[in-house]
Amino acid sequence: MSSSLTPTPTPRRKLPIGIQNLAKLRQQGCYYVDKSGLAIDLIDSGSYFFLSRPRRFGKSLLVDTFKELFEGNRVLFTGLAAETRWDWQKRHPVIRISFGGGVVQDAAGLLQRIQHNLRTNRSALGLSRPDDIPADDVAGHLSDLIAQAHVRFGQTVVVLVDEYDKPILDNLTRPDVAREMREGLRNLYSVLKEMDANLRFVFLTGVSKFSKVSLFSGLNNLRDVTLDARWSALCGYTDADIDTVFAPELPGLDRDEIRRWYNGYNWLGESVYNPFDVLLLFENREFRPYWFETGTPTFLVDLLAAKHFFTPDLSRVHASLTLLSTFDVEKIAPEALLFQTGYLTLHGVRQPIPGQWVYTLGYPNREVESSLNAALLEGYGVPDRESFDARIRLIELLRTADLPALQALFQAFFASIPHDWYRKNELAGFEGYYASVFYSHFAALGLDIRVEDATHHGRIDMVVLFEGRVFIFEFKVVEQAARGEALRQIRERGYADKYRARGEPIHLIGVEFSKADRNIVGFEVETLAAS
């Protein structure tokens, strides 16, 4: 007689939504993706580190993990990688500074926030406040705090700074205030260099990467590990984490769709998911732009519009390491801002000649691509309601390949943009404006789009693959009357040849925009039957 046993399914656990405290997470029996081994690897490799990651990416939990390790709270690491790798007998005093809560609006507010951080740490460490240092000398107070902690505990000190840049980022639309924030923070951080003999480990993290000259002047031993492949997965969830740690949450959800929607963030190593997205997906069981909705990128949209950024380029931006690292109050490159805030991520890197590195950026996933393009449409003067209605109608027209109706849809759409908007904005004179608006409608739907698709005879402006059909678009801007050049170029250069092997209907669409009429004046089509 034989019998078979059905494996007991792994029970579901509490989702750690909004929990940034390791003790709370472990004590409440939440899911936990173990980063303690990577944390120890980083600690073993040096003493001064800087890491930039987008908002809601688990940076605060990582900082808390460092804190619990150095304070020797072994019970929290039971069963984790750190349990057998860490020296639990040696404990270090930890100073943790955070600018994550609230918005600092002026220099006085920054001073109060720093003073509050220092008071909190003094109290936690049981140290007294010196009477001979003026209250507004925050650098002097931090130096004294580090020195006292070293003497009191007999061990070198750990300094952890979370959201180090938030006071600056909160005031980017007010450059004068942002500069005050930068100077106040530079004064604080300058202490870390002179106190080296008292320090065991220093870790600063935030969203942006300000140049060392502007914010970390003199702190030349601070290692930036933002683009170090070894630490690409130090924050965020990997594919393996989703399949193992969160295995009980997967039934009932399309695993490939989870990957398309939320995976794809990369810093030259292993790609990761944004934890915030994944946790809310498992909680609500619906695919939605959870991360994007928590922060409206108004400043970003305005900057892209002001810089006349050609939105189709967002899917394949080429940049140097210098450009990606160039971020300051006086000089904000759109590429750097998009990358550091998480709207673009690294897709590859190459070295065409020794020492010259070219980084290729693109959207990390469907959530960001569709949501950012929808937001950009509003920034480009498109009424939100009309844009939404046009996108819904666009799906129906692509499904039925109703190309005449597609032309009418976009002509009516461009006509809906208020004349007063054109009068007040130079953007309408930007050569790529009309193609950008056209493209963003498709991208906002999260469709399979190929931009500047290379062929043997040139580059196709835009290809859309949708439900067994291929749509090839070429855009031209004319002074007034249509010339038929767009469709002629598709034919003469044989753009369709690349897609004939798919055996699907191919629709060739030449679109011409008139600067004078501010609308589509040419919309020629040709359909090649499936082979």
Domain boundary pick from 202, 231, 260 = 231
> Per the domain annotation, does 447 fall within a domain?
yes
> Per the domain annotation, does 38 fall within a domain?
yes
Domain match, 338 and 388 both: no
What are the φ/ψ torsions at residue 160 (nearest 5 degrees)? -120, 125
Give the 3-state DSSP-derived string for 366-419, with helices as H, strands as E and coil as C: HHHHHHHHHHHHHHCCCCHHHHHHHHHHHHHHHHHCCHHHHHHHHHHHHHCCCH
pLDDT at 456: 73
pLDDT at 358: 93
- 364 to 57, 240, 265, 273, 345: CA distances (angstroms): 14, 18, 5, 9, 5
Other beta carbons less than 10 A from residue 327's beta carbon: 23
pLDDT at 309: 83
pLDDT at 8: 54
Residue 5: pLDDT band with limits 50, 70, 90: low
Domain match, 455 and 401 both: yes
The mean pLDDT value of the chain amounts to 91
Domain match, 446 and 311 both: no
> Which is more confidently placed, 515 or 28?
28
Structural domain span for residue 316: 298-362
pLDDT at 483: 87
pLDDT at 323: 81
- Pair 187, 338: CB distance under 8 Å: no
> Per the domain annotation, does 277 fall within a domain?
no
User: Can you tell me the mean pLDDT for 93-105?
Assistant: 94
> Which is more confidently placed, 212 or 96?
96
| Lowest pLDDT segment from 203-207, 294-298, 388-392 | 294-298
pLDDT at 370: 95
- Pair 353, 407: CB distance under 8 Å: no
Domain match, 410 and 504 both: yes
CATH number at residue 455: 3.40.1350
CATH number at residue 77: 3.40.50
- Pair 508, 491: CB distance under 8 Å: yes
pLDDT digits (tens, 9 = 90+) for 319-328: 988 888 767 7
Question: In the predicted model, is pLDDT for residue 497 greater than 70?
Answer: yes
pLDDT at 457: 73
Domain match, 139 and 223 both: yes
> Per the domain annotation, does 60 fall within a domain?
yes
Residue 344: pLDDT band with limits 50, 70, 90: very high
> Per the domain annotation, does 292 fall within a domain?
no
Question: In the predicted model, is pLDDT for residue 127 greater than 90?
Answer: yes
Q: What is the dihedral of CA 395, 397, 398, 404, to 10 degrees?
A: -150
User: Can you tell me the mean pLDDT for 6-19?
Assistant: 81
Domain match, 410 and 514 both: yes
Domain match, 94 and 179 both: yes
Share of the chain above pLDDT 90, in %: 71
Alpha-carbon span 508 to 521, nearest angstrom: 17
Domain match, 203 and 320 both: no
pLDDT digits (tens, 9 = 90+) for 157-212: 999 999 999 999 899 889 999 999 999 999 999 999 899 999 999 999 999 887 66
Domain match, 391 and 518 both: yes
Share of the chain above pLDDT 70, in %: 94
Domain match, 441 and 516 both: yes
Domain match, 302 and 449 both: no
pLDDT digits (tens, 9 = 90+) for 500-523: 999 999 999 999 999 888 889 999
Domain boundary pick from 362, 391, 416 = 362
Q: What is the dihedral of CA 384, 387, 393, 396, to 10 degrees?
A: -110
pLDDT at 516: 84
> Per the domain annotation, does 303 fall within a domain?
yes
Domain boundary pick from 178, 209, 231 = 231
User: Can you tell me the mean pLDDT for 344-370?
Assistant: 93
Looking at the chain, how many residues does it have?
Answer: 531
Residue 1: pLDDT band with limits 50, 70, 90: very low
Question: What is the domain count for the chain?
Answer: 3
Question: In the predicted model, is pLDDT for residue 296 greater than 70?
Answer: no
What are the φ/ψ torsions at residue 2 (nearest 5 degrees)? -120, 155
Domain match, 157 and 205 both: yes
pLDDT at 429: 62
| Lowest pLDDT segment from 11-25, 110-124, 211-225, 414-428 | 414-428
> Per the domain annotation, does 45 fall within a domain?
yes
> Per the domain annotation, does 279 fall within a domain?
no
| Lowest pLDDT segment from 85-94, 274-283, 307-316, 464-473 | 307-316
